A and B are shown apart, each in its own frame.
Chain A
Amino acid sequence: MANYTENELAKDLENQEYKFGFTTNIESDKAPKGLNEDIIRFISAKKNEPEWLLEFRLNAFRIWKEMTEPEWAHVQYEKPDFQDITYYAAPKQTKKYESWDDVDPEMKETMTKLGISLEEQKRLTGVAVDFVMDSVSVATSFKAKLKELGIVFCSFSEAVQEYPDLVREHMGTVVPTTDNFYAALNSAVFTDGSFCYIPKGVKCPMELSTYFRINEAGTGQFERTLVIADEGAYVSYLEGCTAPQRDENQLHAAVVELIAKDNAEIKYSTVQNWFPGDKEGKGGVFNFVTKRGICGTNSKISWTQVETGSAVTWKYPSCILKGDNSVGEFYSVAVTNNFQQADTGTKMIHLGKNTKSTIISKGISAGKSQNSYRGLVQIHKNADNARNFSQCDSLLMTDTCGAHTFPYIECKNPTAKIEHEATTSKIGEDQIFYCLQRGISEEKAISLIVNGYCKEVLNQLPMEFAVEAQKLLTISLEGSVG
């Protein structure tokens, strides 16, 4: 006992508090509603996490408590009650629907229009179904191939157990817990997500898609993704899917961190189609996401997103161009219809010399929706010869929607070249008439015109994803010209 120090005493007390202060049965599959340190300890214990990760969470929670929810975005919504959320529920294998007949016919129709196979539709809607042998074997051979190359692609929880050093070294280095309200919240309570590591010099030979992972464990509303491309590595990563996703969780606050080390490249593509709420604007997911990547020397990060879902979107996939000669790209299509609101854009932070960034943003507003582009281009004083090109286009489908552009430029180096172009146009009645006169139906005409307008962004998506995204755009805007 002679060595018993104050620190150890403190630790004991802390453990005691944990032991007695928390009433929820550790065997339970669900945490009670609300958020406090005990809940966080519960989540961490449930996931059998190492001490440092618990500390990471608790620290984030303390920071979050001091923060206030941001209000600067051009969106209006009823703020969630953070004490009325269940922050942990064990991933259950229960099926959402007992049989295929129970699935909403409208949803089935949409998926059929998207060209999703029946088997895939069943899987996506969570219908109890004997698993298609095909996709199981595809997934297995896929994993074997990756393993051969030393690529790690697994759930975040698995990574914490299997690759704790990689996780600990990189997590929170791009999006620090202090970054913003939702990032702090996510850091405190995230339940799962994806982890990907590409070793030095390895070019990942296939598109890594979360499709393959989601089968295994449902990801929660506070998802965390960490993608690391080591020196000279390359990866193309696909997130989300075009099928409409309904979720009982209204609030989604994800964090995505990308790390491209020297001479590495990460291409990150998202197609997002969360339930946007009904035609009256009721329900729908709030999607408050923090996505950011950091570039080493000669490296490149490219974000491509096609966003058609969510009632409220708050999302700015960004690049920190730290290494000299690094490149950041942002290609975005954001569609809002009915009562949807989106405030989305990017931040390009130029720190290194000869850094280059490109921003192509295409907003499409229909119905009574509000669609905002918000972007920051920041050139720091050591970023000699930095270059940026931004193009922000807005397309209005009706007289009742809104399109807004908030571009911020901060330049502290006189050698920088920054270009910004912006246009706002209404979908041309003369364009539609021209198509109709050639025998093209109105629906197809709108699809042609809108896909043409988004072409520069769609071209950035991997082929199959692009085809689905095109169909998704058409469906999202069906009957929306007014």
Chain B
Amino acid sequence: MIKIENLHANIDGKEILKGLNLEVNAGEVHAIMGPNGAGKSTLASILAGKEDYEVTAGSVTFEGKNLLELETDERAKEGLFLAFQYPVEIPGVSNINFLRTALNEKREYHGQEPISAKEFMEMVREKSKLVELDPKLASRSVNEGFSGGEKKRNEIFQMAMLEPKLSILDETDSGLDIDALRIVAGGVNALKSKDNATIVITHYQRLLDYIVPDFVHVLFDGKIVKSGPKELALELEEKGYDWIKAEFA
């Protein structure tokens, strides 16, 4: 699905990623954990195509294509989805209109006809149930006046609507209470298939009780320094990151 090799990246001249390697195959869930400032969110932003970062070395192949050469919107249309840590508010633009635009742009890119209004509304009804999103929120402005939990649920709702191949969840658990966490995770699990993959970026092991990863990676100082099965997350939870810092700093 995606292969990241020796990725180096700067922001404002400061090197954040220092030779990162990661391979994710279809049907897999990978968790990336690590202390603050390790480069977790930077990785998500670079994969999604945020312009603030400069890739200085390395390569990223997504479904056989050179991801770094694709524009941000092309990456999305190719099937890469980022669930934002801080979803953005767009006043005056209804969630429905926003999603329909996004969906139709994607369909057009793949040479498909725009979705019919009826089909679209059925899809909205079905997918909003997945994350128990109040149907009223679907017609409100994108994220405007949403609570923290509603914003995160809306991210997963959008993910469900856009049916991406690779989803990157950037600190999706932050700011969620335990019930919201269960709902969001339930949505992610329901969307899991043998054809798609998920990268879960998180600080805490908590989320991984609900979204069980196939692999856990520890990102530290711009590199993945340790990988292992899901038990690694528990170990990190127990011991904290200090031993990682001591070992690799």
Residues of A within 8 A of B (CB): 428, 430-431, 433-442, 444, 448-449, 451-456
Residues of B within 8 A of A (CB): 48-51, 71-73, 75-77, 81-82, 84, 87-93, 97-99, 101-102, 105-106, 109, 141, 158, 162
Residues of A close to B141: CB separation below 8 A: 452
B71, B87, B105: the one contacting A444 at CB < 8 Å is B105
Residues of A close to B91: CB separation below 8 A: 452-453
State the Cβ distance, A226 to closest chain B Cβ, in Å. 35
Residues of A close to B76: CB separation below 8 A: 436-439
Q: Which residue of B lies closest to A434 (CB)?
A: B88
Residues A434 and B72 in contact in the complex (CB < 8 Å), given A439-B109, A448-B93 = no
State the Cβ distance, A463 to closest chain B Cβ, in Å. 16
A442 to B93, CA, bound (A): 15
| 10 A-B pairs with least C-beta separation | A452-B92, A439-B76, A452-B93, A455-B92, A436-B72, A434-B88, A438-B102, A439-B77, A436-B73, A439-B106
Sample of 9 more A-B contacts, CB < 8 Å, known A433-B88, A436-B71: A434-B90, A435-B90, A435-B98, A435-B102, A437-B72, A438-B98, A439-B102, A441-B73, A453-B92
A433 to B101, CA, bound (A): 15
A-B contacts, 24 of them at CB < 8 A, read: A428-B88, A433-B72, A434-B84, A434-B88, A435-B73, A435-B90, A436-B71, A437-B48, A437-B49, A437-B75, A437-B82, A438-B162, A439-B76, A439-B77, A439-B162, A440-B73, A440-B101, A440-B102, A444-B101, A448-B97, A448-B98, A451-B92, A452-B93, A455-B92
Could you tell me if B88 and A454 are in contact, using CB atoms closer than 8 angstroms?
no
Residues of A close to B50: CB separation below 8 A: 433
Could you tell me if B105 and A440 are in contact, using CB atoms closer than 8 angstroms?
yes
Q: Which residue of A lies closest to B102 (CB)?
A: A438
State the Cβ distance, B69 to closest chain A Cβ, in Å. 16
Residues of A close to B75: CB separation below 8 A: 437
Residues of A close to B93: CB separation below 8 A: 448-449, 451-452
Q: Which residue of B lies closest to A428 (CB)?
A: B88
Residues of B close to A453: CB separation below 8 A: 91-92
Q: Which residue of B lies closest to A436 (CB)?
A: B72
Q: Pick from A428, A437, A444, A453 the residue with the most CB of B within 10 Å.
A: A437
A451 to B75, CA, bound (A): 25
Q: Which residue of A lies closest to B98 (CB)?
A: A448
A246 to B96, CA, bound (A): 38
A437 to B91, CA, bound (A): 18
A428 to B144, CA, bound (A): 14
Q: Which residue of A lies closest to B92 (CB)?
A: A452
A435 to B82, CA, bound (A): 11
Q: Which residue of A lies closest to B93 (CB)?
A: A452
Q: Which residue of B lies closest to A449 (CB)?
A: B90
A437 to B168, CA, bound (A): 12
State the Cβ distance, B205 to closest chain A Cβ, in Å. 27
State the Cβ distance, B127 to closest chain A Cβ, in Å. 14
A442 to B71, CA, bound (A): 10
Residues of B close to A452: CB separation below 8 A: 90-93, 141
Could you tell me if A431 and B90 are in contact, using CB atoms closer than 8 angstroms?
yes
Residues of B close to A442: CB separation below 8 A: 73
Could you tell me if B90 and A448 are in contact, using CB atoms closer than 8 angstroms?
yes
Residues of B close to A431: CB separation below 8 A: 88-90
A449 to B144, CA, bound (A): 13
Residues of B close to A435: CB separation below 8 A: 73, 90, 98, 102
Q: Which residue of B lies closest to A441 (CB)?
A: B73
A435 to B105, CA, bound (A): 11
State the Cβ distance, A260 to closest chain B Cβ, in Å. 30
A436 to B88, CA, bound (A): 12
Could you tell me if A454 and B49 are in contact, using CB atoms closer than 8 angstroms?
no
Q: Pick from A436, A439, A451, A456 the residue with the most CB of B within 10 Å.
A: A439
